[in-house]
Chain A
Amino acid sequence: MEQLIQQIASGIANGAIYACLALALVMIFVSTDHINFAQGEMAMFSAFLCWQLLDWGLNFWIALPIVVVVSFLIGLSIERVILRPLHGAPVLSVVVVFIGLLAIFHSLAGAIWTHTIKAFPSPFPQVAFAGSGYIGPHQLGMIAVTVGLLGALFAFFRFTPLGLAMRAAAQNPASARLAGVSVDWMLALGWGLAAAIGAVAGTMVAPAVYLEPNMMASILLYGFAGALVGGISSPGGAVAGGFIVGVLENLVAYFGNLLEKITGFYLIGNGEKLTVALIIVITVLTLKPSGLFGHVTVKRV
């Protein structure tokens, strides 16, 4: 029982990261209809930037805002410089450009900081607290930071004029232009925010998995799955989807181990948990194509 609770708690902690990445994907998707396959590598790159600042002796809580701002600017410039000219290009061309970006960020990180794994110190105090038998301090901090971030984003979109303009631009670009909103800049801002959210995800996940260029590969897949499970056009759904996928993945491994312990038959272990979790996610999507929280859009022909 204790193990089960542990697994769920660490699933929630991982889920927080998936939720961040899912949210970053949704940020870009709602306004452009594109899935940014480079999102994970951009987050990894941000984590390396943060590591560099720490290595130069900066305190984590000073380094983090700097990295977030720099990542925001990187995201914004990618949209303005690389993606803007491709407006109206075939979807597959855009997909290939994302793959190109992925390759560039991945290899640049490797070239600048090498491919050997690096320890990334947890910014949270390593102290015992109530319930620390179930969840580590870093995992708890990870949940707190991401939940805080999500709350801040929610407030931004709900209560600020700029957030409102971004929502309007995503929902109905033509109408938003007629209301005087520069939709093009809103897209770029969306990219910047997505990169900034990814930066937080990257710096939070690095202490948990060690820092290296491959760090985000499978996390992107989970984020993608989380975004789709929650309904790709719904930010709240994406966050929920991220947590669901995180917990699901750990439960699969837990019950696989339990089964082996009881019956002696190996069915699912850590090697297969990704596969099984994805099969479950895809089954859910086949049954409920708009995601758990997405709304069905009626397509006119």
Chain B
Amino acid sequence: MATTVSSTGTEAGIQNVFAFIRRRWLWLLIAFLALLPIIGGKTGYISNFWFLQLSLMIVYAIAVLGLNLLTGFNGQISLGHGAFFAVGAYTAAILIDQAGWPFWATLPMAAVTCFVAGYLFGLPALRLEGHYLALATFALAVAVPQILKYRHFEGFTNGVQGINIFKADPPFGLPLSSDQWMFLVVLAVAVLMFWIARNLLDSRTGRAMTAIRDHAMAASTMGINVPRYKAVVFGISAIYTGIAGALHAIIFEFVSPDSFRFELSIAILVGAVVGGIASLPGAVIGGVFVQMIEKYADALTKKISAAVHLPLELEPWTIYGIALIVLMYTMPTGIAGGLAALWRRMRRS
């Protein structure tokens, strides 16, 4: 059915190739990123705008990772992960705005709320497979903005207006701008979340997850409690996407129902598939892709329009749509899979 995500060969290939990068270069890369605020501060080359962009890429990478755990590694499709992103974002915003919590304390709360939300949604969703699960999650994505606007919740959510919060200043009088400080926070959270995901997937739980994806019935005859696992994975997946939402609210300093429309869920799904499904590096690539599209589709479209002299003004979505189709043709297993294949070919020749 629709939820079986093809895996095996390519996935193993991707993991092998990136294992090399993981071992040596990954820590260097993280160290480099962590030093960016200092480099940027000294040289002045990297503006606060760029730190915000980088932070957003990382945030979306965490969100995409959440969906990847569910869809890529557990075979349950979701067209509505924007909903958990919204729940995380509102949890953080409400706690900061109304309860005066420090921003870091809201992250565990967002995780708890989203786990509960994901688990509870995952329970009835157990009976739904393939297209039915797609509809249920699709409905969730459409429903969430409406629920956030719901009249009786306005005391908390402030209705259509949304909630403004203020960015935290760096502690201990560190010589960083708040964008640089937030970038470091987001980076640290992301490293922790990816490390946990890595270990989760390497554990018994991770093997059970992929076994359920590849053959639920066989998994259950091996003694895996399929319903419980599926619901728990839904919850864990929601934690990731929810924490991403909370971070987004904190660095964006604003939440409103219309920031979490259906398009956000689609963007997360597209990020997961385009990056490379069932792949951790793929989630990073997917996160970068989501933010790049949001930021640069406009500019790119203007350039292309000017270059090809079309009789009508192109819109960003046209380029976006064509890019998606071309990507799926050239790299059906996502950019991570495409890079892995390229790498293998280069090493062979």
Q: Is B143 an interface residue when CB atoms closer than 8 A count as contact? A: yes
Contact B315 A97 (CB under 8 A): no
| Docked-complex contact B273 and A92, CB < 8 angstroms | yes
Are A107 and B312 neighbours in the complex by a CB distance under 8 Å?
Answer: no
Query: Which residues of A, 226-254, contact B by the 8 Å Cβ criterion?
Result: 228, 232
- Given A228-B135, A274-B146, also A97-B325 (CB < 8 A): yes
Contact B321 A102 (CB under 8 A): yes
Contact present for A99 and B142 (CB under 8 Å): no
Across the interface, which residues of B come within 8 angstroms of A278, CB to CB?
139, 142-143
| Contact between chains at B146 and A272 (CB < 8 Å) | yes
If A91-B4, A274-B142 touch, whether A103 touches B324 (CB-CB below 8 Å) is yes
Q: Quick check: is A179 within 8 A (CB to CB) of the other chain? A: no
From A35, A93, A99, A272, residue with most partner B Cβ within 10 Å: A93
- Contact (Cβ within 8 A) B328 A96: yes
Would you call B317 and A104 a contact (CB within 8 A)? Answer: yes
In the complex, chain A residues 138-166 whose Cβ is within 8 Å of any chain B Cβ: none
Give the chain A neighbours of B316 by CB distance below 8 A: 107
Question: In the complex the two chains form, is A271's CB within 8 Å of B149's CB?
Answer: yes
B135 near A282 with CB under 8 A, answer yes
CB < 8 Å A-B pair total = 141
| Pick from A90, A95, A221, A269: contact of B142, CB under 8 Å | A221
Q: B320 contacts which chain A residues (CB < 8 A)?
A: 100, 103, 107
* Distance (whole angstroms) from the CB of A38 to the closest CB of chain B: 9
A225 within 8 A of B: yes
Q: What would 14 A/B residue contacts be, using CB atoms closer than 8 Å? A: A29-B131, A82-B325, A85-B329, A92-B277, A96-B274, A97-B324, A99-B269, A103-B321, A104-B322, A110-B315, A271-B146, A281-B135, A282-B128, A289-B129
Q: Which residue numbers of A lie inside 8 Å of B, CB to CB? A: 29, 33, 35, 82, 85-86, 89-97, 99-104, 106-108, 110-112, 217-218, 221, 224-225, 228, 232, 266, 269, 271-272, 274-275, 278-279, 281-282, 285-286, 289, 301
Add 20 more A-B contacts to A33-B2, A92-B273, A272-B150 (CB < 8 A): A29-B131, A89-B328, A90-B6, A92-B5, A93-B332, A95-B269, A100-B321, A104-B318, A107-B318, A111-B314, A225-B135, A228-B135, A271-B146, A275-B139, A275-B146, A278-B143, A282-B136, A285-B135, A285-B136, A286-B127
